[in-house]
Structure 1
Amino acid sequence: MHYELYIDLFFLINFLMDYFLLLMVGKMLKCRIRRLRIIAGAMVGAFLTCIFVVFLRRKIWRLVLFHGVMNMCLLKTGLGIKEKRTLIKAWILLYVSAFLLGGILNVFQPYVRGGAVFLILAFAGYHLCLGIWDLLAYFHKNMAGSCRARLYQNGRECEIYAIIDTGNRLRDSLTGRPVHVITGEIAEKLGCTDFSSKRVITYQSIGKENGTMPILMLDCLCCRCEKEEKWVEKPLVAVSERQKLSNVYDMILNPDDL
């Protein structure tokens, strides 16, 4: 079977794909995006692809150089990644992104009749892939399990187990800010015992349709989930009348504040 390869068109297609893939991986890893560097990385990837396709005949060498040397050069040039662990993670994300973007373009391949249409589809596929990634990251963040939390109030500190509950959508009616929930025992450890002058928030739960809880403003809240710390200044917490929320955790975190 005979194929004709238009090297200029082949280079352009690979350049565009590498450009979008580098942008996706950079945003997934939250790297500092430099457009000129991304362009340089995409050009390196497209150039090496052309060289390997034209001059390499043995499939084993193509396999090694394509998936090893070329992709590493692509990532190092385009994103400036030097740390080995981050580079491996970027390499994996590159293939995940290529799989998603390639699948999207393959679906619409019968409708591609020109370079402009391909460019539009590649651009749309790029944003769709990022949207899928953001959606997965959102669910991962909001469906995470328990974490460690440190509460600070008037020079006192209390470290407890907390849970990020997607069902907690409590908000202060006055400020509209998200509200977390702690137990009365934790409030006492922070020196908060007098709630007579505090505002209250209403809530509904199983067996209680119109409950109320006093609201406190703490000095600071620090949550540590999966080696990542999140600091919240002046968080609002509601004090539950229950001394224990469960046998595992003493605080229900509102995901809208994290």
Structure 2
Amino acid sequence: MNYEFYADVFFLSNFYLDFLAVYLTSEILQQKKKLLRYLLCSAVSSVIGCVLFLVITDYDLYLLCIHFIVNPGMVIGCFFPAGKRIYGKAFGLMYFTILLLGGSVEWLYHTIAGGSYYELCLLSAAVPVLVFLYILRQRRKKVHCFYQVSVEYQGKTLDVQALYDTGNNLIDPYVRQPVHIISRNVYKMLIEQEQASIRLVPFSSVGCKNGILEVFTVEKIKIKWDEKEIELAPAVLAAADDRLFEHRPYQMILNRCVGGKMGRKEEEICI
């Protein structure tokens, strides 16, 4: 049996499905990179796939090259730099997504469309992806709330992006004040070479049952959202490992007590 090979259809189909899978994976793993990078990596992998299909006569060898060379290369290209666990999760999620989308397109094309309107069936693959992304983002809005925070300490003012986290219940046992977590990098910018009154506070969290944090008190922090602002003076901050904030859009994790200070119900705080 002979088949006609259309390189343009092959390229566009693979490019389209690869891009959808990459973008969806980046949203799920919260590993957002530039959109242009996703487009380029998807295009390059699709071009390489076309070339390999034309050059390699053994179909099994072609599949091995795609699964173990081209696709892993696309994952690395899209998410570099990242940890090994991120690469592994991204690879698994992308494969699952591509199989699901590819199977959906084939089912629509052969069952619903009766072997016609392939382009329409291909475009329709974006619908469940867009719906899923909308639901995912709406759910995250209810859990992750971001604020602009100004920290004032020893004459210095530093603006950072902060996450409001209802799971942060840490209290400084020495001064009985809630503790807000900052990245080690922000801590160094605040402290520099000056001496600060540092105290060690034990904590427990997922993945670390018995940990110690370096805690210090700043003059005040100002939390801003919309046209409103609240001031906490003094405020207690703790320096955490930068890995906690790696590839995140925030450098600070606010204590859940912030919700009460704002005078709102917890579920109404997100903006």
Shorter chain as denominator, the TM-score bin is 0.5 to 0.7
**Distance apart, 1:150 and its partner CA:** 0.9
Give the conservation status (yes or no) of the 8 Å contact 2:19–2:42.
yes
1:1-44 C-alpha deviation (Å, 9 max, x unpaired) = 21111111111111111111111112122223312211111111
Q: Does 1:130 align with 2:129?
A: no
Which entry has the higher C-alpha Rg, 1 or 2? 1
1:156 is matched by which residue type in structure 2?
R
CA deviation after TM superposition for structure 1 residue 52, in Å: 2.2
After TM superposition, the score normalised by the length of structure 1 is 0.54
Letter in 2 for 1:95: Y
C-alpha change, 1:153 and 1:120, in structure 2 (3 Å) is farther
* Corresponding position of 1:50: 50
Are positions 1:156 and 2:170 aligned together? no
The corresponding residue for 2:12 is 12
The residue identity in structure 1 corresponding to 2:55 is F
Q: 1:114 aligns with which of 110, 117, 128?
A: 117
Amino acid at match of 1:32: K
Q: Aligned AA for 1:150?
A: L
Q: How does 1:176-195 map to 2 (within 5 A)?
A: none
Cα distance change, pair 255–220 in 1 and its aligned pair in 2 (3 A): farther
CA shift in 2, pair 1:236/1:98, >3 Å: same
Q: How many residue pairs are counted as aligned between the two chains?
A: 183
- Tell me, yes or no, if the aligned pair for 2:171 and 2:177 is still in contact at 8 Å: yes
Measure, in 1, the Cα distance between the counterparts of 2:236 and 2:117. Answer: 57
SS at 1:149's partner residue? coil
C-alpha RMSD over aligned residues = 4.3
Cα distance in 2, alignment partners of residues 233 and 65 from structure 1: 50
Q: Could you tell me whether the CA contact under 8 Å between 1:11 and 1:46 is conserved in 2?
A: yes
Query: How far did 1:85 drift?
Result: 2.7
Which runs of 5 or more structure 2 residues have no equivalent in the other structure?
145-166, 179-201, 206-231, 246-251, 261-265
Of 128-137 and 113-122, more deviation after overlay is shown by 128-137
- Give the structure 2 partner of residue 74 of structure 1: 74
1-10 vs 81-90, which moves further: 81-90
- Residue 149 of structure 1 contacts residue 161 of structure 1 at CA under 8 Å; is this kept in 2? no
Q: Which runs of 5+ in 1 are unaligned?
A: 142-146, 163-216, 238-253
Runs of 4+ in 1 over 4 A off after TM superposition: 131-138, 157-162, 219-222, 227-230, 254-258
Contact 1:149 1:221 (C-alpha < 8 Å) held by counterparts: no
Identity, % of aligned positions: 20
Q: Alpha-carbon deviation of 1:133?
A: 5.8
Question: Following the alignment from structure 2 to structure 1, what is the Cα–Cα distance between the partners of residues 96 and 236?
Answer: 38
Q: Which residue of 1 aligns with 2:61?
A: 61
1:25 paired residue number: 25
- Tell me the residue number matched to 2:196: none
TM-score (norm 2): 0.51
Query: 1:174-207, CA deviations, whole angstroms, 9 ceiling, x for partnerless residues?
Result: xxxxxxxxxxxxxxxxxxxxxxxxxxxxxxxxxx
Amino acid at match of 1:97: T
Q: 1:125 to 1:53 in 2, by over 3 A?
A: farther
In the alignment, which residue of structure 1 is the partner of 2:223? Answer: none
Q: In structure 2, give the amino acid aligned to 1:151.
A: I
The structural deviation recorded for 1:93 is: 1.2
Shift of 1:136: 9.2
Q: Distance in 1 between matches of 2:106 and 2:132?
A: 14
